[in-house]
Amino acid sequence: MSDSVIVKSKVKELVIGYNIAGDFADALDEKAKQLVKEAVRRAEGNGRKTVMAKDL
């Protein structure tokens, strides 16, 4: 498995008053990686080497 881009302790800081299932951070990590990959494809499609917020 590749390195995580999500910091589990930071996610826990955001979720106040709720428990977090063990698989939540892993699922969030995969979602984040997919969003970044899609943003890169959009930047490439627009002829840019810079990934911007609007690519999300």
The answer to whether residue 43 sits within a structural domain is: yes
The answer to whether residue 35 sits within a structural domain is: yes
Reported as a pLDDT band with limits 50, 70 and 90, residue 1 is very low
**Number of domains the chain contains:** 1
Q: Which candidate, 9, 24, 40, places its Cα nearest to that of 49?
A: 40
pTM of the model: 0.84
The answer to whether residue 5 sits within a structural domain is: no
Q: For 16-47, what is each residue's pLDDT tens digit?
A: 999 999 999 999 999 999 999 999 999 999 99
pLDDT of residue 7: 93
State which residues form the domain around 52: 23-56
The answer to whether residue 9 sits within a structural domain is: no
pLDDT of residue 47: 98
17: left (phi over 0), alpha (psi -120 to 50) or beta: left
pLDDT of residue 16: 93
**How big is the chain by its Cα radius of gyration, in Å?**
14
Whether 2 has a pLDDT exceeding 80, the answer reads no
The answer to whether residue 51 sits within a structural domain is: yes
